[in-house]
A and B are shown apart, each in its own frame.
Chain A
Amino acid sequence: MHIPDGYLDLSIAALFFILSIAVIGYSIFKLKNEKLTSLFGILSAAIFAAQMLNWPIPGGTSAHYVGGSLAGILLGPYAGSLAMAIVLTIQTLVFNDGGITAWGANVWNMAVVNVFIGYYTYRALQKIDRVLASFIAGWIGITVAAIFAGMQIGLSTSFAYGLSITVPVMGIWHAILGVIEGVITAGVIGYIATRRMDFLEKKETGKKSSALVFIMIVLSPVFAYLAEEVGYSEPMENAAKILELEEMRIFEGIFPDYTFPGFDPYIGALISGSIGVLVVLAISLAIRYAYSSRKNP
């Protein structure tokens, strides 16, 4: 399920970078007062080992054990998503499995969608039967994550197969292979429940933050579609073009449309962007200096 570099459009890759950083950043914030346990390390290592056996899927990417639901159930959704993000980062930086530009999309599918959906499915069903709940959590987590991967590559124009091919290929294959994921998840949880029940104690999560992550998960394909639709142009500019509106400029600006007089547009954008960053940085430092000198006169 790891998407390599070159499969996604930069607009979609950037969108999922932002979404993933938002969720992982929030997870880190929630864990800031907690010490990382050895369970965290060993579970990440175990998931890494289980993910190393890949098999290709024609028309899509590849299939393997993911372990997002297992991580969510054992560590809770926040530490679970961080553990999965860690595994994916090591795979990208040490084994070149999954692209650097596709890191955000991979983290979104396997560390956010898989972990959160798996965890809440388990929580909802555990009162009926713990093993059955883990099986369904494992199966549904990987299947939904695969559908998201299918959407991301299907919406990217760089990858010439459309949504009608990528989503069914990824979704159907993973729904079948997800049974193995479900069996492994149920087996491990069932065994741990008989020996170390303390690992399965209720992990507290805030209702508001969970609802927010779910809204982000549900809306992310819409954002991906819109990111592809607008490409690199501003939505406002597109709307103005459709409405046949013309711009009336009062002030041209120092670097109009991020250009630099006398330079190629690309170099102009680079120079004007760099100057902009420096100006923002200088203002931020000045505000910080002013604030700290007022606090410590």
Chain B
Amino acid sequence: MHILLEKTLKNASNYFQNFLIQEYQNPCIFHRIDARIKFISVIIFVILAVSTFELRKLFFLLFSILGISKIFGLSIKKLLLRIWIFTAFSFIIVLPLIFSNSLYPFIFTLRVFISLLAVQMLIMSTNFFELCIAMRSLKVPEIFVQALWLSYRYIIVLFQDIINVLLARESRRVARSSHYEIWKKGGESIGLFFLRNIEKSERLQLAMLSRGEKIVSGDSDFGTLEISYIAIVAFITLWWIML
């Protein structure tokens, strides 16, 4: 059990570490659009998706989002790969209702699928720092933005530390201990890991403060790309309303 847990933790940490670092390696036109516009447009798409059960509106929205992704250079294959698990999970939950309403599970899953697709467009094309700056520009309270950025930084540090600790444990394990001993030592090492991280983060915080910690942002004006994208989103929204 504990070996399975350790392996899961190691693989998950590796996955997240890679996910956070390699997220934005293939920039396309969609990456260049201002994060504020992308953020607001995603909220609009999600609201449109969850506020209807009409199939024609849902399909219109689905093809519009897929069309935008294709035109602006996002990989549809990657988008679908990232959301199929959540979509399948939602479908399984509502599947028993197929006997009372044969269409409901499909429409419900389609709503979830479109919402996930819209959010994934933002995630695949915007790094977290840009999102923080966009939120600040959209007047989200300063302390909230600071806390977001602070936590995000520590998440990266923490995952790196988890991988190091697990590797160190693996390399030092020579004898097979009893389950009780492993759990006891495991608990102690979690506590120790937590405290060691707090102390390390205190040193990091002091180092950042001494260098003048600040999120530097500059609000840029919207260019042709942003205005075109706003026009497309407005056109889709109005068409959806009139359908």
Binding site for B on A (CB under 8 A): 4-8, 10, 13, 24-25, 28, 31-32, 36-42, 44-46, 48-49, 52-53, 56, 58-62, 82-83, 85-87, 89-90, 92-96, 99-101, 158-161, 187-188, 191-192, 195-196, 264, 266-267, 270
Minimal beta-carbon separation of B168 from chain A (angstroms) = 17
Binding site for A on B (CB under 8 A): 8, 12-13, 16, 19-20, 42-43, 46-47, 49-51, 53, 82-83, 86, 89-90, 92-94, 97, 100-101, 104, 108, 111-112, 115-116, 119-120, 122-123, 128, 131, 141, 143-144, 146-148, 150-155, 157-159, 162, 187-188, 190-192, 194-195, 197-198, 201-202, 204-205, 238, 241-242
Q: Can you list 26 residue pairs at the A/B interface with Cβ under 8 Å?
A: A4-B115, A6-B115, A10-B50, A25-B141, A28-B143, A36-B146, A38-B201, A40-B150, A41-B150, A42-B198, A45-B197, A58-B92, A59-B93, A82-B144, A82-B147, A90-B148, A90-B155, A94-B152, A96-B86, A100-B46, A101-B47, A187-B187, A192-B194, A266-B242, A267-B238, A267-B241
Chain A hits for B97, CB < 8 A: 160-161
Chain B hits for A93, CB < 8 A: 119, 122-123, 128, 131
- CA–CA, A61 to B112, complex, Å? 13
CB pair B93–A58 under 8 Å, yes or no, is: yes
Considering the complex, give the chain A residue whose CB is closest to the CB of B162: A49
Chain A hits for B150, CB < 8 A: 36, 40-41, 44
Chain B hits for A96, CB < 8 A: 82-83, 86, 116, 119-120, 123
Considering the complex, give the chain A residue whose CB is closest to the CB of B242: A264
Of A5, A25, A45, the residue contacting B154 (CB under 8 A) is A45
Minimal beta-carbon separation of B186 from chain A (angstroms) = 10
CB pair A6–B120 under 8 Å, yes or no, is: no
Tell me whether A158 and B50 are in contact in the complex, defined as CB-CB below 8 angstroms, given that A6-B90, A192-B191 are known contacts. yes
- CA–CA, A192 to B196, complex, Å? 11
Minimal beta-carbon separation of B17 from chain A (angstroms) = 11
Of B104, B194, B241, the residue contacting A46 (CB under 8 A) is B194
CB pair A5–B187 under 8 Å, yes or no, is: no
- CA–CA, A156 to B238, complex, Å? 26
- CA–CA, A61 to B86, complex, Å? 11
- CA–CA, A101 to B42, complex, Å? 11
Chain B hits for A6, CB < 8 A: 49-50, 90, 108, 111-112, 115
CB pair B143–A36 under 8 Å, yes or no, is: yes
Interface hub of B12, B94, B201 (most chain A Cβ within 10 A): B201
Would you call the interface of chain A mostly helix, strand, loop, or mixed? helix
Minimal beta-carbon separation of A170 from chain B (angstroms) = 12
Chain A hits for B204, CB < 8 A: 38
Minimal beta-carbon separation of B153 from chain A (angstroms) = 7
- CA–CA, A39 to B203, complex, Å? 11
Minimal beta-carbon separation of B126 from chain A (angstroms) = 9
CB pair B147–A86 under 8 Å, yes or no, is: yes
Chain A hits for B188, CB < 8 A: 191
CB pair B151–A44 under 8 Å, yes or no, is: yes
CB pair B151–A48 under 8 Å, yes or no, is: yes
- CA–CA, A99 to B19, complex, Å? 20
Known: A6-B108, A38-B201, A191-B191. 18 other contacts (CB 8 A): A4-B90, A6-B49, A36-B147, A37-B205, A42-B154, A45-B154, A46-B197, A58-B93, A82-B147, A86-B144, A87-B151, A94-B152, A96-B86, A100-B46, A100-B115, A101-B46, A188-B190, A191-B192
Chain A hits for B19, CB < 8 A: 95
CB pair B93–A5 under 8 Å, yes or no, is: no
Minimal beta-carbon separation of A258 from chain B (angstroms) = 14
CB pair A100–B119 under 8 Å, yes or no, is: yes
- CA–CA, A195 to B192, complex, Å? 9
Tell me whether A5 and B46 are in contact in the complex, defined as CB-CB below 8 angstroms, given that A31-B143, A195-B191, A195-B195 are known contacts. yes
Chain B hits for A37, CB < 8 A: 202, 205
CB pair A187–B191 under 8 Å, yes or no, is: yes
CB pair A264–B93 under 8 Å, yes or no, is: no
CB pair B241–A45 under 8 Å, yes or no, is: no
Tell me whether A42 and B187 are in contact in the complex, defined as CB-CB below 8 angstroms, given that A52-B12, A99-B115, A100-B46 are known contacts. no
Chain A hits for B43, CB < 8 A: 100
Chain A hits for B202, CB < 8 A: 37-38
Minimal beta-carbon separation of A44 from chain B (angstroms) = 4
Chain A hits for B159, CB < 8 A: 49
- CA–CA, A28 to B159, complex, Å? 28
Chain B hits for A86, CB < 8 A: 144, 147-148, 151
- CA–CA, A83 to B242, complex, Å? 42
Minimal beta-carbon separation of A179 from chain B (angstroms) = 15
